Amino acid sequence: MRRQNFSRRGLLRTGAIGGAGLALPTIFTSSASAFTNNPTGSSVTLGFNVPQTGAYADEGADELRAFELAVEHLNGGGDGGMLNTFSSKALDGTGILGKKVEFVTGDTQTKSDAARASAQSMIQKDGAIMISGGSSSGVAVAVQGLCQEAGVIFMSGLTHSNDTTGKDRKANGFRHFFNAYMSAAALAPVLQNLYGTDRKAYHLTADYTWGWTQEESIAAATEAMGWQTTEKVRTPLGAGDFSSYIAPVLNSGADVLVLNHYGGDMVNSLTQAVQFGLRERQANGQDFQIVVPLYSELMARGAGSAIAGIPGSQNWDWKLEDEGTKAFVKSFGEKYGFPPSQAAHTCYVQTLLYADAVTRAGDFNPCAVVEALEGFEFDGMGNGPTLYRADDHQCFKDVVVVKGAENPQDEFHLVEIVEVTPTEQVTYAPDHPMFAGGALGECNPGA
């Protein structure tokens, strides 16, 4: 656990979550400030929980860079970044409600149990009033549940499973990143234009909540336009060697391989699929194709030439031309020497959105923050006009459809934007079947 300028405050008493095997803090506070980790001193501590090891560590490293930049901007450092383009003008570079922003970090290890333990430590020992980060939906769902019980706000990082704001939604949790349904809704028309309606798809899928809902979403969207799904095969997270999963594709009768993988797993599975010669094959009288529904510039860099021509989707891309994107890319590039990833973007934005909600509410109480974020409409943050829907705490905004560049000019231009899909095309009803089975419940202030 890394600490930055943290001064301990408050007396903590530990309680237990039933069946969780983890302790939660009970904070002794006055009746006038009865919520977890009320910052009574001159600073406020945020907890940034990211994969510093494991299959998604590259994403985690970029998330940390973005969190540090966001804190710098909130405290009045640097050029202010998106504070200058954000449609809300509540933030003024004097911290949050006049309190200096400090932070602690933890390693999720891309494992749910480790992520919960890390988040719990930041809440209990370090006094974190908000937790953010993560690059795995399994981690996000676990930590979101913990934050709900603890009485702190969870501003999720990179989590793409429908379940995060579906069956596992929580009142204290908010997601800026898009989801699997949105990827499929944006990508399916592009796939139809590229490859037609007479296709047979073979799915290799990461065996956890994100993979399951990504597979369900893209299969439903492609089947609706005429594709057949020939096989769905689950693969363990962090498998490394996918050759035993790719070999059966060769004689499956499929002519499209859909890789529902992310991070290092996607880099390995795509690279190995290309090495197996899938992209040079023909099947059913057509050129064989590979689709990766969700990927990033970081993954493209790892995959190298194997990413060329591969279609997919992103929450955001640093090459967008809006003023918010330009401001963020400039700030990030000047600080770190290269452009930010979509993981960096969503974590930076979530940090500012939390700080803005506290400022507009005039209160750190989680329930005041929830009220400020529910139904909040904003712009200037890189995705165009955006809504934080009150029904499920999901952001609704444009989605970026991309493909791997055939002749990239450098390692930072490996992904090309195919189209920006408008919000209306990826919006769904709050009671959509893919998001059913959960309820936000009530905001929990903790103490």
Provide the 10 A C-beta neighbour count for residue 380: 21
Q: How far apart are the first and last CA of the chain?
A: 25
pLDDT tops 80 at residue 30 = no
Tell me whether strands 173-175 and 153-156 are parallel, antiparallel or unpaired. Answer: parallel
43-50, strands of its sheet edge to edge: 2-3, 100-107, 43-50, 130-133, 153-156, 173-175
Distance between CA atoms of residues 166 and 160, nearest Å: 11
The pLDDT value recorded for residue 33 is: 56
pLDDT tops 70 at residue 15 = no
Contact in structure between 213 and 197 (CB atoms under 8 Å)? no
Would you kindly state where each structural domain of the chain is located, as residue ranges?
Answer: 45-178+318-392, 181-314
Cα 86–chain centre separation: 20
Give the confidence band of 155 by pLDDT, cuts at 50, 70, 90.
Answer: very high
The pLDDT value recorded for residue 355 is: 98
Mean pLDDT (whole number) for 383-393:
98
Contact in structure between 292 and 310 (CB atoms under 8 Å)? yes
The region that residue 149 occupies, defined by phi over 0 for left and psi between -120 and 50 for alpha, beta otherwise, is alpha
Distance between CA atoms of residues 266 and 281, nearest Å: 20
Beta-carbon contacts of residue 277 (< 8 Å; ≥ 6 apart) = none
Convert 57-96 to b/e letters by CB count within 10 Å (16 or more is b).
bbbbbbbbbbbbbbbbbbbeebebbbbebbebebbeeebb
**Proportion of the chain in helix, strand, coil states, percent, rounded to 5:** 40, 20, 40
Residue-wise pLDDT tens digits, 315-359: 999 999 999 999 999 999 999 999 999 999 999 999 999 999 999
Q: Which CATH superfamily is domain 45-178+318-392 in?
A: Response regulator (3.40.50.2300)
The pLDDT value recorded for residue 134 is: 83
The pLDDT value recorded for residue 8 is: 26
Task: Tell me if 45-178+318-392 shares its fold with 181-314.
Answer: yes
363 vs 264, higher pLDDT: 363
pLDDT tops 90 at residue 80 = yes
Nearest to 294 by CA among 167, 399, 420: 399
Give the confidence band of 5 by pLDDT, cuts at 50, 70, 90.
Answer: very low
Any bridge partners for residue 421, and if so which? 399
- CATH, domain 181-314, list 3.40.50.970, 3.20.20.140, 3.40.640.10, 3.40.50.2300: 3.40.50.2300
Mean pLDDT (whole number) for 227-251:
95
Nearest to 368 by CA among 351, 352, 356: 356
Amino acid at 14: T
Give me the residue label for tokens 């009803």. Answer: 429
Q: 3-state DSSP call for residue 184? A: helix
Distance between CA atoms of residues 423 and 399, nearest Å: 7
Contact in structure between 403 and 189 (CB atoms under 8 Å)? no
Task: Give the chain's radius of gyration (CA, Å).
Answer: 21
Three-class DSSP labels, 376-444:
EEECCCCCCCEEECCCCCEEECCEEEEEECCCCCCCCCCEEEEEEECHHHHCCCCCCHHHCCCCCCCCC
Distance between CA atoms of residues 243 and 5, nearest Å: 47
Residue-wise pLDDT tens digits, 241-269: 999 999 999 999 999 999 999 988 999 99
Arithmetic mean of pLDDT over the chain: 91
Q: Which of 5-9, 21-25, 306-310 has the lowest mean pLDDT?
A: 5-9
pLDDT tops 80 at residue 24 = no
| Residue 350 φ/ψ, nearest 5 degrees | -60, -40
| Residue 3 φ/ψ, nearest 5 degrees | -120, 145
